[in-house]
């Protein structure tokens, strides 16, 4: 059976930071089979993975850059945060592909899934992490499902930087990448995962209409270059505004069918823009069809908290008396310090951790602030933005 161990810290020196995490998570016996690393953009990623391989030479190592971490110890969003989840046991497989983007995402994800299936039979859930910039996340889901089918739960996130939308990083064993995707397929038959996401933003005003799009390239809105129309509606200067300026205030919303809206607790699914081209083309995180209507949104802080409580009540009801053996967690970077001060942020994290805790102690927990989140909606693997997404792993 698989066992999970976690730790997090804030420390300037990358080697010392990862050493503290491994020692804190595993104690004196640092043997393990897998180490998953999330670290903010100020760390030396090569130093992180090199040190893990020194401390646990037999372990596979995967990781990603992020804008902040959440662990059992709490939440932190400095430039020097690192968190790990260590796993003991052999019932998993690791796969990865490089050079993934918005045009080849399906083929790359299918290739990755075939690696997992060839390495390990019986995979029943997949932790997926991909580059957060220039990628078709819905096509990633489709590529993974082409091998494993829709019944396998896909959970995870996309890597991020410090909200600049310039570059994000992925780590696999002894290499650091900029446009890669990796996945861990878990095959322990005694484990299952429950996933759910929530955002709490509200669509406002009249929608903009996509008048030209190619794949994940959003070229025109309302007949204008997309970036021009978007920034005009946000009240930003089209020439000087960056994606980092737009992310906290510029969530785009797609209308959900009524049945999904009832489950989600919100009538819209949100989307983030992480890159734009000089000609005004915006990079959308999923493929987009001409004619799609997109709303701007405003955050409702009271609703963010109430929707979080609602989601945790639903997850607790499904769990019954069971408590998770581990929790993976992905949060949008715009829900962290860019929207909340420290007290509110810690309160939000407390509200998600307490219902899953035992005697007030959270289970092994690995959370990150990234560009997007994968969680089921309506029983279907779905890509989200601007959400808190919880992936609670239970022993059956």
∠ CA 175-176-179, nearest 5°, is: 125
Q: Considering only 115-129, 295-309, 339-353, which range has the smallest mean pLDDT?
A: 339-353
Q: Are residues 270 and 324 in the same domain?
A: no
Q: Are residues 332 and 220 in the same domain?
A: no
For residue 338, pLDDT over 60 is answered with no
Q: Are residues 244 and 334 in the same domain?
A: no
Q: Are residues 165 and 227 in the same domain?
A: no
Q: Are residues 292 and 311 in the same domain?
A: no
Tell which of 299, 328, 350 closes a domain.
299
CB under 8 Å to 390, separation ≥6 — which residues?
195, 196, 197, 311, 312, 315, 327, 329, 352, 356, 375
Q: Are residues 217 and 288 in the same domain?
A: yes
Tell which of 244, 273, 299 closes a domain.
299
Structure tokens at 187: 């095959």
Average pLDDT over residues 157-175: 91
The CA distance from 384 to 373, in Å, is 5
Instruction: Reduce the DSSP state of residue 269 to 3 states and report it.
Output: strand
Q: Are residues 223 and 354 in the same domain?
A: no
Q: Are residues 211 and 357 in the same domain?
A: no
The pLDDT value recorded for residue 343 is 56
**Beta carbons of 270 and 285 less than 8 angstroms apart:** no
Q: Are residues 323 and 223 in the same domain?
A: no
pLDDT digits (tens, 9 = 90+) for 227-252: 999 999 999 999 999 988 898 889 99
Question: Which has the closest alpha carbon to 392: 341, 350, 340, 357?
Answer: 357
The pLDDT value recorded for residue 336 is 66
For residue 272, pLDDT over 80 is answered with yes
The pLDDT value recorded for residue 278 is 93
Range of the domain at 176: 3-198+304-395
Average pLDDT over residues 352-373: 96
Q: Considering only 106-110, 163-167, 341-345, which range has the smallest mean pLDDT?
A: 341-345
Structure tokens at 98: 């490089």
Give the helix/strand (H/E) hosting 349. Answer: helix 342-353
| HEC profile of 108-174 | HHHHHHHHHHHHCCCCCEEEEEECCCCCCHHHHHHHHHHHHCCCCEEEEEECCCCCCCCCCCEEECC
What domain count does the chain have? 2
The pLDDT value recorded for residue 247 is 86
Q: Are residues 222 and 192 in the same domain?
A: no
Tell which of 277, 299, 321 closes a domain.
299
Neighbours of 313 (CB within 10 A): 11
Q: Are residues 28 and 126 in the same domain?
A: yes
Q: Are residues 286 and 322 in the same domain?
A: no
């Amino acid at each position: 059976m698989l066992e999970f161990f976690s730790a997090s810290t804030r420390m300037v020196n990358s080697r010392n930071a990862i050493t503290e995490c491994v020692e804190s998570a595993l104690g004196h016996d640092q043997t393990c089979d897998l180490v998953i690393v999330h670290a903010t953009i100020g760390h030396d990623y090569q130093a992180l993975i090199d040190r893990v391989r020194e401390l646990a030479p037999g372990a596979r190592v995967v990781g990603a850059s992020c804008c902040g971490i959440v662990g059992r110890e709490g939440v932190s969003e400095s430039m020097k945060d690192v968190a790990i989840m260590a796993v003991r046991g052999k019932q998993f497989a690791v796969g990865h592909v490089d050079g993934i983007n918005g045009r080849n995402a399906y083929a790359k994800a299918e290739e990755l899934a075939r690696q997992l299936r060839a390495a390990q039979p019986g995979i029943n859930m997949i932790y997926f992490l991909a580059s957060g910039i220039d990628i078709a996340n819905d096509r990633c889901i489709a590529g993974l499902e082409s091998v494993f089918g829709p019944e396998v739960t896909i959970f995870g996130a996309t890597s991020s930087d410090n909200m600049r939308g310039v570059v994000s990083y992925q780590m696999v064993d002894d290499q650091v990448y900029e446009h890669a995707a990796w996945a861990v397929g878990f095959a322990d038959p005694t484990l299952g995962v429950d996933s759910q996401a929530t955002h709490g933003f509200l669509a406002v005003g009249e929608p903009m209409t996509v008048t030209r799009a190619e794949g994940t390239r959003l070229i025109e809105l309302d007949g204008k270059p997309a970036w021009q129309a978007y920034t005009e509606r946000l009240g930003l200067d089209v020439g000087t505004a960056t994606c980092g300026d737009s992310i906290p205030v510029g969530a785009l919303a797609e209308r959900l069918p009524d049945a999904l809206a009832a489950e989600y607790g919100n009538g819209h699914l949100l989307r983030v823009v992480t890159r734009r081209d000089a000609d005004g083309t915006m990079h959308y995180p999923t493929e987009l069809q001409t004619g799609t209507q997109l709303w701007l949104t405003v955050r409702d802080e009271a609703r963010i908290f109430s929707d979080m409580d609602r989601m945790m009540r639903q997850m607790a009801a499904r769990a019954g008396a069971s408590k998770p053996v581990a929790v993976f967690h992905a949060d949008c970077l715009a829900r962290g310090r860019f929207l909340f001060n420290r007290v509110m942020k810690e309160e939000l994290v407390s509200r998600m951790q307490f219902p899953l805790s035992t005697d007030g102690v959270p289970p092994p927990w690995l959370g990150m602030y990234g560009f997007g989140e994968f969680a089921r909606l309506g029983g279907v693997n779905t890509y989200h933005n601007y959400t808190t997404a919880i992936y609670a792993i239970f022993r059956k």
